A and B are shown apart, each in its own frame.
Chain A
Amino acid sequence: MDDYKITTDALDDVGHLISERALKGETVLLNMGPQHPSTHGVLRLLLELDGEVVVNCIPDIGFLHTGIEKNMETKTYEKAAVMTDRLDYLNTVGNNLVYCLAIEKLVGLDVPARAQALRVILVELQRIASHLVWLGTHGLDLAAMSMFLYCFREREMIMDIMEMVGGQRMMATCIRPGGMWRDVPAGFEEAVRQFIRIFPKRIKEYENLLTRNPLFLERTKNIGILSKEDALRWGVTGPMLRASGVAHDLRKVRPYSGYELYDFDIPTQSDGDTYARYLVRMEEMRQSLRIIQQALDKLPSGPVRSNNRKFVPPPRAEIGVSMEALIHHFKLWTEGFTPTKGAVYEAVESPRGELGVYLESDGTPKPFRVHWRTPSFLNLQVLPLLAKGHLVADLVALIGTIDIVLGDVDR
């Protein structure tokens, strides 16, 4: 033991985070990541291990810091929308939505009913796609390789719908301030209906593979229990909070984009372990399907963009015939619009939790301050709490169950 001693100056940054035993050589410090198959991106963890038991787990983030907030402040409001997709890249449409909701609140812009319903459909499809990536990778981490293949098969169906709407699989930026970029093409409704028809059977398929699988239960039951109090204290939101027994969902608590029109439940569990979080997310996919079904059935006809020309560019056809439309088009794309001084905070329920954006305007065409309240960042904070006392192998399950997206954590 004597030859294994860590000098404290090598641990200047983390010395106060590890226990005394590490300095005496009783526990081992181990680096995990940033390149590691189970960290879901570029997360680095410093582990203090007693044998195989995690004594301390210190996340080191910032390996994907992109400076998105500052970059958005150098662009006009509408042009900055392309940046939002690249934050949480599994919830691209949802990021667009919250940013556009914030702008609409800032300048008092109306959104047509059809655009609101289409937004709901796209965001719920995106939620399913995001949960599918979570389920696929979580299964992969826990040695259920086939989950990955099955989940990505269904995800491709959603990606095809996204491509149909926005011309791009992931970063479509089809939600714009004041509505949608353009109306959905003719085959959209049929494609979504087909997905709704097929998908419930597929969820059953996943559940047959996992829900009562003894290997899966062994790896997830009673692993990483998060109590209700701790969840609330650490600011955890989304499926993690709901699996700990708090029925908090922004779609119900503070409805936006017409969620109050749809009938759906908030799935909750009381155990707060990895298995409970799995059950919550599986049920959420079913609820998303219900919302999509209702939104499709009630889909109103009409315009998909606001008619307020001070903020929303006129359609292409108008530019050729109306001088005023040409002026608006030119002004909006060279200067952008100018909100009055003020600040807004707007939040939506992303697949990971409360995704909020704070916009501050100083009366110029560019935002003075953009700040994102990202759910992954806050949810990741409970990882040390969850990991304490578990084995290293369980840590893999825990990183998966938090469902972090490093783009969302680091921005």
Chain B
Amino acid sequence: MGVEQKLGNLGVATMKLEQAVNWARTNAMWPMLFGLACCAIEMMSAQAANYDLSRFGMELMRASPRQSDLMIVAGRVSRKMAPVLRRLYDQMPEPKWVISMGDCASCGGVFNNYAIVQGVDEVVPVDVYVAGCPPRPEALIHGIITLHEKVRGEKITG
């Protein structure tokens, strides 16, 4: 029983603040322009004309971690890169999310060796894992939509 039902159509939508904030967050999520390896090329494909990531309000890749709220770890993370990755994550303002794109970022993939971190979740907390080597642009978009669903269910107070 909302106020609209009592007073008729006022051209106003009522909702919880939480819903409104999460709705806004999902529709203007700015990923960081941060490619590591092969998956970065598929991430670029996802932004290009055919797959058009801007349909989800995400065409604006920010080159600076300070302006972005989503980190897409696209590719294998080497032991030399891991501290850099953590530092970039720490520089992002809250609230922030991480998508681990591809097998290498998720679990090391085919590279079980001395050089590659066996899953980026050893370094940063991951919200969504996207499988594939490399994942198709559709798979990445699916991962992003999954993340949106997760964000919609989040509480805005700690």
**Interface residues, chain A, with chain B CB atoms under 8 Å away:** 34-37, 41-42, 62-68, 70-71, 82-83, 86, 89-90, 133, 136-137, 148-150, 152-153, 155-156, 159, 169-171, 406-407, 410
Contacts and interface: CB of A to CB of B under 8 A. Distances in A.
B129 interface: no
Contact of A149 (B33, B40, B49, B114): B49
A395 B45 CA distance: 25
B42 A148 contact: no
B45 A63 contact: no
A63 B38 contact: no
A67 B111 contact: yes
Given A152-B50, A171-B38, A406-B37, 12 more contacts: A42-B36, A62-B78, A64-B36, A66-B111, A66-B115, A70-B114, A86-B111, A133-B44, A148-B48, A153-B49, A169-B42, A407-B37
Interface in B16-61: 32-38, 40-42, 44-45, 48-50
18 contacts: A41-B37, A42-B81, A64-B37, A64-B76, A64-B78, A66-B76, A66-B111, A67-B111, A67-B115, A67-B116, A70-B114, A71-B110, A86-B110, A89-B38, A153-B48, A170-B41, A171-B134, A410-B78
B87 to A, nearest CB: 9
B155 interface: no
B41 A90 contact: yes
Contact of A34 (B49, B84, B136): B84
Q: Taking chain B's interface residues, is the majority helix, strand, or loop, or is none over half, making it mixed?
A: loop
Nearest to A168: B133
A83 B110 contact: yes
Given A41-B37, A63-B84, A71 B78 contact: no
B46 to A, nearest CB: 10
B37 to A, nearest CB: 5
Interface string B107-128: 0001111111000000000000
Of A41, A62, A65, most B-chain CB atoms within 10 Å: A65
Nearest to A68: B111
B113 A71 contact: yes
Contacts of A66: 37, 76, 78, 111, 113, 115-116
